[in-house]
Structure 1
């Protein structure tokens, strides 16, 4: 049995999924930007697949989205939008797998990249292979939404891989059939059994040898390597400072106050400071690193004036921003912009700020 256990740490959720939910809301006449900003999220940050949102903020956004849209089946709607490339390197690796079974093995190994709060197990039951998902009780009322999105999203993935439903496949769901399910029944190409002992996808083992439509060995190797690198980075990002950074870099307005970040992470301001100090960094240092990353990207890829960049980074004026940028990098923003005109690399802090 292969397994990928859910982590206690908040490793965040890829922001692109929240962006997709926001688009679904907009199509239904719901003000998605108002909901995002109400929970402290910056809509402009959500289209970058490298950005991850804390589970606390993601959960609050999804809860408000379900309530304000009046659509309890929002998880099924999200599943219908999950094309393979939306899953980042994992989606590309699965798309270029040789067989359905190979794609499933990748999902087991790398699910943490896309849904780190879930566990996944690959088991055998007679002539069937079972892909079983588990979620901790901390998911609360989001359990139904998340399982709808993940289980039916995986069915959508297999449909894209093979071009047709997998013969003999069905879905098992814990609990009673929800009232909204029949409205979506025609969208789901496989049977669903409710009041089951687990949340799982059950596939005839013989079907795992089915060839995929897009297999490309070279692309598969590249994307798998990217998955390994991403998994290593995510594991390294299990520290508390990384959780703080995730909140800071997706916050609206920017930069957030320490009290706002502490509340988002459900800790006191004192605890937040103490835990960062234990990792030899300060809250201001994390804010400054996010500011540097944003500033360098804007200087490289836009023609925004220094005043516009300073305003977006929360500085009173361009002079304060210029002094801070020069302290971080040893260069003025203008000099950096000129030097980076034909380069893509971002600078690092010349003298990283230590905890204080």
Structure 2
């Protein structure tokens, strides 16, 4: 397999998105959104269940359009469809990226009742923060994640490349799926902070950019995939190992071979992976899991064919491994309502 394979997301991200949507839509509407995204409803509460990037993006789009709220019930006031378009249009004639992102925060502060965004330059960094206006503010957890991703995504689009982040802070407690953040926020992350914020180098604030209205529509059409999922994860050693394994799942996929390919010693590779909160076997299992989930959802390949392609000697061994990865059987991803997309 020599093509990219996206990481999958834990169902907790779907649950976070839908938690806000439930504030402004009915259970029947939620069912419609989930089905239209190709997500099997019986997996919504399944421990360990996963979704593909395509499914999550489709769900995001379905909910945003279906509720007429571009923040999907995450904040106390609806943000009507078309708001993001006018927001981005208002940034195009800014003289620098810093001034554009200052406008970004001012724009949102005209719309949000319970939270406010702030832009400041401090100690060599640009800091964009989200803070509660008072003690009654109660944005959903995913609302904090969404606003940080939106700020980073818009800034990166204006700059023409993904801006490296120095750090990301959240005001909520560390979630059980915190290790998954490496695929979304390419930076050190901390929790239980006084406010939610992201930081990047202040040198980016002086960046001059040229973006036209003609370029804006294509950007919005591919949203939110463009800005939800980071491309900078390739800097992670775990991602380099993952790319190596993509071409070696059925050949020599030993840690020694991976270390040789990355020009590292086995000890160094093990240490670097540990620093990133993972291990060689965890990276290998996650890749096999993601390939299996995506092929079960997006293709009509037989389970036997998928198992063989992942290097399993039998269906029974594959079933056992898949249940360990996701808590569900491969067949659960093939039930009615979860047809190939």
Q: TM-score range by the shorter chain?
A: 0.3 to 0.5
More helix by share: 1
> Which is higher, the Rg of structure 1 or of structure 2?
1
Compute the TM-score of the two structures, normalised by the length of structure 1: 0.37
